[in-house]
Amino acid sequence: MENFYWIGLKAVPGIGNVAFRRLLERFDSPEMALTASASALSGVRGIHPGVIEGIRSGEWRRFAEDECRRLEASDARLVTYISHDYPKSLFEIPDPPPFLYIKGELRSHELSIAIVGSRRATSYGLLTTGKLSEALATHGVCIVSGMARGVDTAAHKGALHAGGRSIGVLGCGVDGIYPPENQALFKQMSDKGCLVSEFPLGTQPLAENFPRRNRIISGLSSGVLVVEAAEKSGSLITAQYALEHGRDVFAVPGNISFATSRGCNRLIKQGAKLVDCVEDILEELPGYARLSADAPLFQPSPRTFALTPKEAAIYELLARSPLHIDDIISQTELTAGEVSSMLLHLELKGAVTPLPGTHYAVAG
């Protein structure tokens, strides 16, 4: 029944990710937001009369009922942003989804690198992608990509071939298979890795979905490696998201005669780290300096705590930058008393740490 209200609130016209989270800050649960009075709803920033009418009309119920039936019939599940296994790194991006559709095992604390590139990759690009993906997976790094043709497919296959884990972020519903020739890979990913989407079940792979998908690829990763990309491509959009999200950007240099090399070569000119071996990536990752022959794998610090909606509102702000308590109060729907109480709860969970001058930051 809980999924019903989460899906229902997101289905109301005019409620995007930001409005959804503001409603939960105020009302604590989707069910309470959907049953709130018009006057209570109007007190939430960004909730205009059209949204209130959409909530009060109850038209969202039919979609929520149908989606819950589809979810029950599929192998997928919903992971909400207050769940312990929602990836905390997604709080660092400006527009994290309130919930994700998941097939497979999602590990919120694993160290991940995204590998993206051309759908029409050369044999050099495919071989390089497979080699680097396998090497990263051997060192315990999870590989994130978009399940597309070309570099994405080679990245996922390389990680799985090395016995590692991989996450595929989709521009369609997790019940869809796109491209169709990757049917066997989709099955492997759901069995040995994870498929992720913010889009409802049955969503088709429309062109406008992929830029939104790319911000999730970046958000799940510590850095983004681009292997072959044209000068205007979705891979460069992902790299731009990575820069905005404070991630490292890596690029494999390519033959200057190939159009698929121009995007990567330009990234290198602009300051992306040139990669010609896996160590170029590993040495930038947290924990690499502590590696030894006796400890070949990364040991990421666990961030698997659950959050209440009010705690999540504060954690999301602090995930982007440390803030003074007054700034937290002004940027949320919470009272001063609620903010003080939530900060204490987050400290006890090991999620945030106090700094001098009543500033707070997420715990490292």
End-to-end CA distance of the chain: 35
Q: What are phi and psi of 104, to 5 degrees?
A: 105, -160
Q: Is residue 98 part of a domain?
A: no
142 and 263 assigned to the same domain = yes
User: At 292, is the pLDDT very low, low, confident or very high (cuts 50, 70, 90)?
Assistant: very low
Do 112 and 35 share a domain, yes or no?
Answer: no
Whether the pLDDT of residue 267 is over 50: the answer is: yes
Mean pLDDT throughout 195-205? 96
Global pTM value = 0.90
231 shares a domain with 276: yes
- Reported confidence tier of residue 168, pLDDT bands at 50, 70, 90: very high
Reference 188, options 171, 170, 163, 214; nearest CA is 163
Strand order in the sheet with 352-355: 323-324, 359-362, 352-355
Q: Which of 245, 263, 290 is the last residue of a domain?
A: 290
Task: Tell me the residue type at 42.
Answer: S
Rg (CA), the chain: 21
- Are 60 and 133 members of one domain? no
Same domain, 236 and 356: no
Domain membership flag for residue 302: no
CATH classification at residue 320: 1.10.10.10
Predicted confidence at residue 301, as pLDDT, reads 55
- State the pairing for strand pair 99-104/194-197: antiparallel
Residues 283 and 160 occupy one common structural domain: yes
Q: Same domain for 68 and 198? A: no
Q: Is 94 among the domain residues?
A: no
- Is residue 89 situated within a structural domain? no
Q: Rounded mean pLDDT of 252-263?
A: 86
- CATH number for the domain harbouring residue 134: 3.40.50.450
Q: What is the mean pLDDT of the chain?
A: 91
DSSP state of 195: E
Residue 87 lies in a domain: no
Which residue, of 290, 321, 338, is where some domain finishes? 290
Residue 334's contacts (CB-CB under 8 Å, 6 or more residues apart) are: 25, 310, 313, 314, 328, 342
Q: Which range has the worst mean pLDDT, 80-84, 110-114, 289-293?
A: 289-293
Cβ proximity of 97 and 81 under 8 Å: yes
Q: Is 63 exposed, middle or buried (0-12, 13-18, 19+ CB in 10 A)?
A: middle
Under 8 Å between Cβ of 119 and 228: no
Number of domains the chain is built from: 3
Q: Are 265 and 254 in contact (CB under 8 A)?
A: yes
Task: Judge if 272 and 319 occupy the same domain.
Answer: no
Domain co-membership, 68 together with 109: no
Residue 357 domain-assigned (yes or no): yes
> Residue 281 domain-assigned?
yes
232 and 125 both lie in a single domain:
yes
In a domain, 88, yes or no: no
| Residue at a domain's end among 34, 53, 73 | 73
pLDDT in tens, 340-359: 999 999 999 989 999 999 99
In this prediction, residue 293 carries a pLDDT of 46
pLDDT tens by residue, 53-108: 999 999 999 999 999 999 999 989 999 999 998 999 999 988 899 999 999 999 87
Segments forming the whole domain that contains residue 186 = 104-290
Sign of the Cα torsion 10, 15, 20, 26 reads negative
CATH code for the domain in which residue 17 is found: 1.10.150.20
Question: What distance in Å separates the CA atoms of residue 121 and residue 102, rounded to the nearest whole number?
Answer: 28
The reply to whether 277 and 313 lie within a common domain is no
Same domain, 168 and 269: yes
What backbone phi and psi angles, to 5 degrees, belong to 117?
175, -165
Six-digit token pair at 128?
């390089």
